[in-house]
Amino acid sequence: MTDSSKVEVQKHIRCVPGDVARSVLLPGDPARARRIAEQLEEARLIAENREYVVFTGTTNGVEVSVCSTGIGGSSAAIALEELRNVGAEVFIRVGSAGGRRKDIPIGSLVVVTAAYRGDGVSDEYLPLGFPAVADLDVNNALIQAAKELGFSAYSGIGTTRSAFYVRDAELNEQLQRAGVVAAEMEASTLFIVGTRRGAKVGCVVATDSNIYLEKQPTLAEKEALYMQGEGMTIRTALRAAQLLEATS
């Protein structure tokens, strides 16, 4: 654990000890961070630098922070490292992802329990043979939260990739046959960095696409469905933070 008395302002997130709560939601998109902040009581903007926008507020009396991470593992790792330096302990990725099973419609809520490590960053922390797995308590809190809220949630292993516009068709098919639920760009990095830094990390995403659907909706339809799903992820993550605080 870092001695907070010796920690200065963090280089990228521009925070110091006391700025952030024990639990932090990690959206990639700064605009999503702002939408999450709108769901908090007494939310205040703490810092804004590069892709990192940080808010702190409360949800049902529980203090929670939000920090956007940008796109990909490198910037996500920086966010978690620096948030951990200033005292955060529990992290929930609140993201978007592509569905990877034919039965997962666009706009679905998915709890990612572990991830294939194609992120290109986590191998700097631990060898690739080490599994990228969500913290059990955070994972269970997300699943319980979704049930309490009446949301139908998929759960399972995801795949994290490093290059959005490069697709390995053979790997995609292999992972799809293995039953991966979603593809995104940050989960495996956050799981591994969390393991190295002694933090509890979980992940909930909404699907914004699915290359395996027989009928593809229009772009406008996809965006509308995703926004509905995003609303569910935000509410699920906030409720999970409440549950985790009650059992801490």
What whole-number distance in Å separates Cα of residue 19 and Cα of residue 228? Answer: 30
> Is the separation of the CB atoms in 33 and 55 below 8 Å?
yes
pTM above threshold 0.85: yes
Query: Domain holding 67: CATH number?
Result: 3.40.50.1580
What whole-number distance in Å separates Cα of residue 130 and Cα of residue 146? Answer: 29
Tell me the pLDDT band of 236, cut-offs 50, 70 and 90: very high
Structure confidence by residue, pLDDT tens digits, 187-212: 999 999 999 999 999 999 999 999 99
Query: Looking at the 3D structure of the chain, how many domains does it have?
Result: 1
What whole-number distance in Å separates Cα of residue 26 and Cα of residue 44? Answer: 16
161-169 long-range contacts, CB within 8 A, separation 24+: 161/118, 161/119, 161/185, 162/72, 162/73, 162/118, 162/119, 162/120, 162/121, 164/71
| Domain interval for residue 34 | 4-246
Structure confidence by residue, pLDDT tens digits, 70-104: 999 999 999 999 999 999 999 999 999 999 999 99
- pLDDT averaged over every residue in the chain: 96
